[in-house]
Chain A
């Protein structure tokens, strides 16, 4: 009843501030995602180029993932290396890893 009375006198709840807030949160997220996908594509290409100098790789077996956490984010690089790859190149690879 009191709500109806309030409505009658025109003090309806403004919904515009809710719209603004929802948009701000959503767009911050979407812009991040779009920016991120570009970053990931670049990272993937460059990592692939560097590793391919030493090991023959199947480009489809290179997976780069970025997970956003609250305080830190993790970059996960998953490269599948074939077992018959060049031994000398493997040595270089080990030295680099060490």
Chain B
């Protein structure tokens, strides 16, 4: 299960290199007692200097990529050239070039990745992989050639034998020592088998050979012996150890795998336990609540990000757009997969007539599923036939192992030069994240709703309650990811909420959408949001599907507005750590929306990001209503949107295209249209948007 850690890490070569520079270039014969201290000092200078050079170039690189918006094509070029420049500069000053390159990459990673476009990102990634493969191949060709070229090396059996023995011994010592330290901090300690595999997996390859070839024969007289030894070591480790490590691992794991056969129960529960542990760990803050890390993040947020990140990225508008898009998609999939939640009966709109097909669909899938389980039961019944049962069990195992989400630790540090499984974790994070957010939203909605229901007079509700009962239990069974019975708020509001509620809803929409522009006001407005005494004055009543700019203008003036729209600083501090970069905004957003829930004075229905997304994504703008000062705002929005579209692609979940909108679902006139349906029609018929003069749908570009 665990791939043996075969690859070399970055630091040892860097260390070797620095040592090499410190001692060899200085000259061994010149080393005296005092020189050891000088050696230490020069080691520090070489390594720290290299690091520093790398960081300087990292800043430079981040800063440059901030301004490449219009010439995306040079982005990968800059990435490579500047890193190479870091290498050259470090080399120029006899500093550690490898360290400088490494730290340039580490330092610039966050900012560059946010700055450059997705395509550039892909280009950089693949070029890097290709280059790595090429370099490795070349060096092994060299290795092969020099192995047969007798003039290049001189043989010394003693040296070779001792080296072989010692690399094994020292590797083992190093592994045992380091794991001993590490195990004090690890949740899952590295056991004996891991240690053996790690000791045995110390393969030496390209770097060792490259370094030894670079030795200056004038200074190092024994270079030829070293070369011979290195070649033998490389061949031994790569050929012999590399080939035998797999059987070794298998053999070591044998007792484990034969002792117990993992039942399905165990598999599921074990995975669940892993998740539980990880979560508890996070709650207890075992990942370390570090003062310095917080400080650094504060600094990064306040200064570095401001300086190095493109403005739009810094203000997260692209991500924000992306989040809205995700929300739209989610809303669609929510309707589609979980059509049963929003049982059509509850949405008593005429347009929903088209949805009557849904119960049938669920019935069919129910039927299918029950049929499927019936098959299972049959298999169980004819249990005497071992073949089929075993087969199905292995099939189940296969499915499970392939698809169960992996807890944090299992997928963390697998880097491979040749494979690119990188998307896996991101995908999982994104899926889980979306799912969690969705269920929180649902939970939140239903809790809001309950509170709401208390307030409202019951007779008003009666009609819809009956309908809810009609919804019945059956469809609900499919909703596996729902914790509580969700309540469809939009449909609800449509049913009987007076226009006042709609106004409020609109406010809710706009504060979510508005956030982009209020980021800077955050620190000041937070307290206002928390203590904000009075319910906000209602903005001028725009129609539900009105332009986003109009209410947001009004919203910007409201005291509680900015605070609600922005996450508290403390949260975003932590959030920057774990959540994938492109989800951070969504994360912050969800936090803030949840926060707005908890604040008592929030408007009754403050949270409809999906709807807001919908409004922004394609809401026809009434040309009649243009508050003063919106035009510039609009232009800016337009610009940001343009940018956002380039970045948005990776965030889109590849969903199957939603079914075409039923003919009846065309948005009804006036303000009483159902947001969900409306949304649906918006997204499923993008071409229609292009024809609208004011639309800002994605197809516009």
Report whether chain A binds chain B. no
Interface residues of A (CB under 8 A from B): none
Interface residues of B (CB under 8 A from A): none
